[in-house]
Amino acid sequence: MKKISVFFVAAASMLLASCGAVSLNDNASSTAAEAGNAAAASLGAVASEVLTNMATNAVNGSSVGNMLQSVLGLDKVTKANLIGTWTYSQPGCAFTSEKLLAQAGGEVIASSIKSKLQSTYQKVGINSSSTSITFNQDGTFAAKIAGKSFSGNYTFNESTYEVTLQGLLLSFHCYAKKNSDGIGLLFEAKKLLTLLQTAAALSGNSTLNSISDLSKNYDGLRIGFDYKK
């Protein structure tokens, strides 16, 4: 918190100083000087207001909350958090560390990735009525992805947050993430691609190329589904 405060104080000082640094030559009229000073004061007020709003957002936790949802492992997940029936709400996206999130471009990039995934998911039929998952207390699960049902047993590693979904013929590994309004199940891009190809019978379909491309462009990226009850 001290680092945040120092940053905003320094930034405010720099912006206000630059806004106020209006120099006039010896021939400038007093009217021009007054107009220049008024403009500088106005810009300074705008700069101050912007920085105040940024500082308020940082202090009240909105930035921290966004980061918690974009980095795996920052918010502890337990098996109890998984139990229940969950309905797909939106594409999920997170990075394996704060450093990798920052290197990728932060929250702006995370939002952009979700937007790209949304378009792909719509094309393969993933929506709130066709995609869901139920985790039972006894270690069994039942899921639908793009309308295709599969079920089996699951295990959850509370140290790594890894979820293993073991069906009759296939098994998938993903990572659980706690959201403010539910949970996320996130995969390595290649594994998600395999899952979607299996569920939607779209092997080789160009619609899914964007998922493969994402894995090449961003280190430590995990993508999948956000769910809520």
Smallest CA-to-CA distance from 189 within 168, 211, 163 is with: 211
Please report the pLDDT score of residue 182 as a whole number. 96
Q: Is the dihedral of CA 228, 60, 109, 100 positive or negative?
A: negative
What residues pair up with 174 in beta bridges, in sequence order?
A: 163
pTM: 0.68
Are 128 and 88 contacting, i.e. CB atoms less than 8 angstroms apart? yes
Please report the pLDDT score of residue 168 as a whole number. 86
C-beta neighbour count of 26 within 10 angstroms: 4
DSSP string, 73-89: TSS---HHHH-EEEEEE
Q: How, if at all, do strands 140-145 and 148-157 pair? A: antiparallel
Are 73 and 210 contacting, i.e. CB atoms less than 8 angstroms apart? no
How far apart are alpha carbons 5 and 155 in whole angstroms?
43
Least confident of 51-65, 83-97, 119-133: 51-65
User: What band does 216 get if pLDDT is binned at 50, 70 and 90?
Assistant: confident
Characterize 89-127 residue by residue with b for buried, 16 or more Cβ atoms within 10 angstroms of its Cβ, and e for exposed: bbbbbbbbeeebbeebebeebbeebbebbeebbeebbbe
Using the predicted structure, report yes or no on whether residue 79 has a pLDDT greater than 50: yes
Using the predicted structure, report yes or no on whether residue 194 has a pLDDT greater than 90: no
